[in-house]
Chain A
Amino acid sequence: MEDSIVRIQNVTKRIGNRTIIDKLTLEVPRGEVFGFLGPNGSGKTTTIRMMVGLMSITSGDILIDGHSISNDFEKAIGHVGAIVENPEMYKYLTGYENLIHFARMIPGVSAHRVKEVVALVGMEGRIHDKVKTYSLGMRQRLGVAQAILHKPKLLILDEPTNGLDPAGIRELRDYLRGLSRQEGVAVFVSSHLLSEMELMCDRVAIIQSGKLIDIRNVQQSRAASEAAGRILIEVDNPGAAIEALAAAGQQAESTEHQGLLVIVGDKEKAAAANAALVQAGIKVYGIRAEVKSLEDQFLEMTGGESVG
Chain B
Amino acid sequence: MADFFNLIRNENMKTFRRPRLYVMLGLIVGLIVIISGIWAFNDNSFSMWEVSMVETTTLFWIVTIFAVVVASSSVAEEFSTGTIKLLLIRPWSRSKILLSKYISSLLFAFFMTVIFLLALLLVNWLLFDAFSGGNSQQAAMLFTELGGHSFFEYIMRYFGLTFLNTVMTVTISFMLSTIFRSNILAIGLALFIEIVVNNALQLLALIPNKWVDYLLFVHLNLTKYAGSNVSTEDGMTLGFSLSVLAVYYVLFIALTWYIFNKRDVAS
Contact = CB atoms under 8 A, between A and B. Distances in A.
A binds B: yes
Interface of A: 15, 49, 52-56, 73-75, 77-78, 80, 82, 84-93, 97, 101-102, 104-107, 146
Contacts of B87: 105
B82 A85 contact: yes
B75 to A, nearest CB: 14
Contacts of B266: 49, 54-55
B17 A105 contact: no
Interface stretch (B6-14, B105-113, B195-203, B243-251): B6-14
B13 to A, nearest CB: 7
Contacts of B210: none
A9 B185 CA distance: 41
A290 B13 CA distance: 57
Contacts of A89: 83, 86
Contacts of B103: none
Interface string B72-95: 000000000111011111111100
B37 to A, nearest CB: 33
Interface in B236-267: 262, 264-266
A107 B2 contact: yes
Contacts of B1: 107
Contacts of A73: 93
A58 to B, nearest CB: 11
B82 A55 contact: no
Contacts of A55: 264-266
A21 to B, nearest CB: 13
Given A74-B92, A93-B13, A97-B17, A84 B85 contact: yes
Given A49-B266, A54-B264, A93-B14, A88 B85 contact: yes
Contact of A52 (B89, B93, B264): B89
Interface of B: 1-2, 6-7, 9-10, 13-14, 17-19, 81-83, 85-93, 262, 264-266
A143 to B, nearest CB: 8
Contact of B10 (A52, A80, A101): A101
4 closest residue pairs by CB, A with B:
A88-B82, A54-B265, A104-B6, A107-B2
B18 A86 contact: no
Given A54-B264, A54-B266, A77-B91, A92 B17 contact: yes
Contacts of A102: 86, 90
5 contacts: A53-B88, A73-B93, A82-B89, A86-B82, A93-B17
A104 B10 contact: yes
Contact of A101 (B13, B88, B91, B264): B13
Contact of A146 (B2, B18, B86): B86
Contacts of B14: 90, 93, 101
A52 B87 CA distance: 11
A40 B14 CA distance: 35
Given A56-B262, A85-B82, 13 more contacts: A49-B266, A54-B89, A74-B91, A74-B92, A80-B89, A88-B85, A92-B19, A93-B13, A93-B14, A105-B6, A105-B7, A105-B91, A105-B92
A74 B93 contact: yes
Contacts of B10: 101, 104-105
